[in-house]
Amino acid sequence: MAHGAHVVDFYASVADLTQRACSYLAHALDEGAAVVIVATPAHLQAFGELLAARGVDLAAARAEGRLLSADAARTLSRFVVDGAIDEGRFEEVVGGLLRSAAAGGRRIAAYGEMVQLLWEQGEVGGALELETCWNRLAGSQPFSLYCAYRSESIDEHAEGREAIERLHDSLVDERASFGDSAERALSEFPCHRGAARAARHFALEVLRRWEMGARAEEVAVVVTELASNALRHAKSPFTVELARRDGRLRASVRDGSEQPPVVRELTNERYSGRGLVVVARLASDWGYDFLDGGKAVWAEFDYEVAADAVQVAPT
């Protein structure tokens, strides 16, 4: 996200939402910005766990004033009076939180779920008014803002959805990301020491058919690392899936372990654990989703779509 952008995410899966939003927050922290999270207690916990898994020192970030969090319902109750939003109190409460985060001239990356709480309570007008308050606040205190609504609830009010979209700079719709129209290739592999090599060959063959060019080798390296991690840590059979759509490609490896992947700092004494470091360097983004009986670790890539490219679906 560009600094100052206001983005909305219509999500179907909480796991995918937290992964996407966490990527945004972790990137901001890496660049020295301050992060403000206003979310439900469950999501606050999930963000903390995901940020820690990505190597963020949460205690240090909080001590430096670069990581501030607040309960969405409690924060909302501080500026909603008799069922109506008091914009003065909103500026005092939320604006005060952002000004505290901006101490020393830091950029601000915010994430908020208060609008979704109003929407879920049937207060569609209140959610729209709150979005407008956020936009007005950005005129005096620049910040980036990532909002989220459940796609199931947002679809129940077509006019409200259109109004929400107009109040944001851009939209993330999980269902449109890699939906039914994406071209896909999938293969299953046994828990065998030669399976990672076989997964690499599978990826290269699919990418050759898809005419991925220079990016093919990078994607194949990532698939190999993810497959090796599945064998080494999950000790289970795994499934490799490649999906592409509109200049984006996702490679994912599903295994039978519910243990999240961990990025370890490389040292002279410990060479193992380099896989996710390689993945993070080659991919534009990566993450993981918990699934029934395991997880899927994924990596996404951008690539140029040739004007005369012929798409051949792999068998």
3-state secondary structure of 179: coil
Whether residue 307 is predicted with pLDDT greater than 60 in this model: the reply is: no
The answer to whether 247 and 302 are in contact (CB under 8 A) is yes
Cα gap 145→26, rounded to integer Å:
14
Highest mean pLDDT among 2-6, 69-73, 167-171, 300-304: 69-73
Give pLDDT, residue 181. Answer: 59
The CATH homologous superfamily to which domain 6-177 belongs is P-loop containing nucleotide triphosphate hydrolases (3.40.50.300)
The answer to whether 215 and 303 are in contact (CB under 8 A) is yes
Q: What are 22-27's contacts with CB under 8 Å, separation 24+? A: 22/47, 22/50, 22/51, 22/54, 22/287, 23/285, 23/287, 24/109, 24/111, 24/144, 24/146, 25/51, 25/109, 25/111, 26/50, 26/51, 26/54, 26/56
Q: What is the pLDDT of residues 71-97, one digit of tens each?
A: 999 999 999 988 899 999 999 999 999
Please choose, from the candidates 222, 223, 288, the residue with its C-alpha nearest in 3D space to the C-alpha of residue 258: 288
Whether residue 35 is predicted with pLDDT greater than 60 in this model: the reply is: yes
Give pLDDT, residue 312. Answer: 35
Give pLDDT, residue 263. Answer: 73
Give pLDDT, residue 176. Answer: 52
Give pLDDT, residue 173. Answer: 67
Reported confidence tier of residue 270, pLDDT bands at 50, 70, 90: very low
Q: Where in the chain is the domain with CATH 3.30.565.10?
A: 183-302
Cα gap 190→235, rounded to integer Å:
10
> What CATH architecture is 183-302?
2-Layer Sandwich (3.30)
Whether residue 268 is predicted with pLDDT greater than 70 in this model: the reply is: no
Strand partners, 157: none
Reported confidence tier of residue 184, pLDDT bands at 50, 70, 90: confident
Element (H, E) at 241: strand 238-245
Give pLDDT, residue 240. Answer: 94
Q: Where in the chain is the domain with CATH 3.40.50.300?
A: 6-177
Calculate mean pLDDT across residues 262-271.
Answer: 57
**Is 0.75 surpassed by the pTM of this model?**
no
